[in-house]
Each structure stands twice: as C-alpha cells, then as structure tokens.
Structure 1
Amino acid sequence: MLTQLEKAEQRWGGANKLIDQWLTHRRKLLIQYFTLAGLAPYTRAEKSLPSINDVQEFCAQLVDYVSEGHFEVYDRVVSECATHGPESKAIAQSLLPKISDSTDTALDFNDKYTESEDDKVLYQLDKDLAQLAQAMESRFEYEDELLEILHSRHS
C-alpha cells in the first residue's frame, strides 16, 4: 500500500492542493496502520498488543480520512470532471459506490474499537486489521482511478 501511495504522490503530487493534502492524510493513515499492525518498516519495539488508546487514535484518523473523501474530495473531483463533459462525470460517479463499500468496513472497525470497554477486544485486532487492510487497499485503488481520470483528462 505504501508503494502504491508513493506512485500516486509521484503521479499527482503538486497538481492540486486538495489532492496533495489528501495524499498526505493517506500517508499518515498508512504509517499509523503499519505501526499499529507491527509491520515493517514500522514494527513495534515489543511483541505485545498495542494499547486501546493507540487503536482508538488510529480509528479517529481512519474516520477523518474516510470522511474527508466523502465530504470534501469526491464531490469536488466529480464536479471538476463534470466541467469537462458527461463521460468524465459518469466514469467518476461510477467509482463512488465502489469506494463507499470500504466505508462500512472502516466504520464497523471504528465502532468496534471505540465503543468497547473491554481490552479483550484487542485479541481480535490482527484479524480485523487484515480485513480493514483489504477494504482500504481496494478503496485506494478506486480513489487513484478517480484521480487518474481527473489528471489524464483535465490537466
């Protein structure tokens, strides 16, 4: 996922302030994910579960990222595509439901880990992080398609 992000930053970085901000937020989310999951290059020093507070901080960043896409970025990108013709708008709009599929996974993860009062929920963290990673990887691919439409047709 970090490699794909680096490609996205190289391809679209500097083209638009909103896109730059969005990719920066994606990078922060991924770094926090890798740290939480104990994955290289951000492995934890100790081989123990992260604290519930660390998980909840990640949840806050996850919800912020998902919300930013839905409430700030996607509409602006689709609107920009619409100014360049109905075909571009239609393609962009067709990606939004695909992106939204991962929103439910992210919000379910958030709810599970922010509403739990029992630290034993952390025993399920690895499995839940793996499911979240699959959903977010798909999301990032669709988001990148959206950016590619905007960039290739309208820059």
Structure 2
Amino acid sequence: MLEDCKNALERWGGVHTLIDRWLEQRKSLLVSFIELKEACDAELEAVSKTRVDTFSELLMDYISAGHFEVYPQLAEEAKAFGDESALVIASKLLERLELSTELALEFETDFATPLRCQRNLTRLPAWIDRLAKALNERFMLEDQLIARLHAAHTPQQEASSSPA
C-alpha cells in the first residue's frame, strides 16, 4: 500500500503543481475583475481598453488552462484510478462549465477591438454583473471537479479512507 501511495504521488504529484498554478491564475483573474468593476463603478467613461483587455486576456488564459490543461489531466488521473463514477460526474460538470465559457467568449468578442470596446462600453456594467454570476458558478463547479477527480485520489485521502 505504501508503494501504491508512492507511485501515485510520483505520477500525480505534478497535478498538484498544475492545479496550484491554475488557482494562482484564478486569483489574478479575480483581482483584475474587481479592478475593472471598481473602475466601472467609479467612472465608466474613463475605463480604458487596456484595462478591459487585461481582464479579457486573464479570463481567456484561465479558461484555456482549464479546458486544455487541467480538465484533461484530472480526467486522465480518474481513468488511471479506474474511477468511472468520477468521469461521469466530470462530464456533467464540464457541460455546465460550457455556459460560462460561451459567455466569456462573447465578452471577449464584444470588447475585442477599440471600436467594439467604445460601442459596448455602456454595456460593460451589465457584462460585469453577468460575468460575476458566471464566474462564481464556474469556480464552484471547478472546485467540485478538483475535489471529485483529484482530491479523492491523493495518497492522504486513500490512506485515511482505507480500513486499518
């Protein structure tokens, strides 16, 4: 059993680093989101394209890292542990995550160019409200995904859940 834990740690320890890095991206995204919201609340007309771009880039990077790095790695881990029920749950969670992904892509499109940004600036506070709700749900779903697909397979979890 100790050898299994060691092998799992060697094999999946990098997932911890990947998740940690991704959660740091989440933190940066939230800081940028709050700054953008505060700028909108203070003086909407003074919100710069650069500030919108900074947030949009962080949002796209975060979502991309989830879809192309974190989610596949978590699924691979669950497959390696033969955790079919986790894969079923993950599939359902990923479907729900698509809604906020689509919303983020719409936001990025609406503010992609200086002209679009200028035209859509009055809609930015409404976008902020929609994104706040979507990101809140997204983070909750992603946390569930991590808990089900990764935390359930960590050596500490296995050791504490196995009978003595």
Interval containing the TM-score (normalised by the shorter chain): 0.7 to 0.9
Whether contact under 8 Å (1:81, 1:92) holds in the other structure is: no
1:15: Cα distance to partner?
7.6
Identity over aligned residues, as a percent? Answer: 35
**Over alpha carbons, which structure has the higher Rg?**
2
Q: Distance in 2 between matches of 1:77 and 1:151?
A: 6
- The TM-score normalised by the length of structure 1 is 0.81
Q: Distance in 2 between matches of 1:31 and 1:140?
A: 14
Deviations along 1:94-126, whole A, 9 cap, x unmatched? 211111111000000010011351524211111
* 2:78 aligned with 1:81: yes
1:48 is paired with a residue of what secondary structure?
Answer: helix
Whether contact under 8 Å (2:63, 2:101) holds in the other structure is: yes
Q: Where in structure 1 do 4 or more consecutive aligned residues deviate above 2 Å?
A: none
- Structure 1 unpaired stretches of 5+: 1-13, 39-43
- Which residue does 1:113 correspond to in 2? 111
- The TM-score normalised by the length of structure 2 is 0.76
Whether contact under 8 Å (2:74, 2:150) holds in the other structure is: no
Deviations along 1:44-78, whole A, 9 cap, x unmatched? 5x921221221012111111111111111101111
Whether contact under 8 Å (2:37, 2:128) holds in the other structure is: yes
| Larger fraction in helix | 2
List aligned pairs for 1:22-37, cutoff 5 A.
Answer: 22-37=22-37
CA RMSD of aligned residues (A): 1.9
Deviations along 1:12-63, whole A, 9 cap, x unmatched? xx9810010010000000000000000xxxxx5x921221221012111111
- Which residue does 1:137 correspond to in 2? 136
1:152: Cα distance to partner?
3.9
Q: Distance in 1 between matches of 2:148 and 2:92?
A: 12
- Structure 2 unpaired stretches of 5+: 1-13, 155-164
Higher RCO, Cα 8 Å, sep 6+: 2
1:142: Cα distance to partner?
0.6
Provide the aligned length of Structure 1 versus Structure 2.
136
Whether contact under 8 Å (1:79, 1:89) holds in the other structure is: no
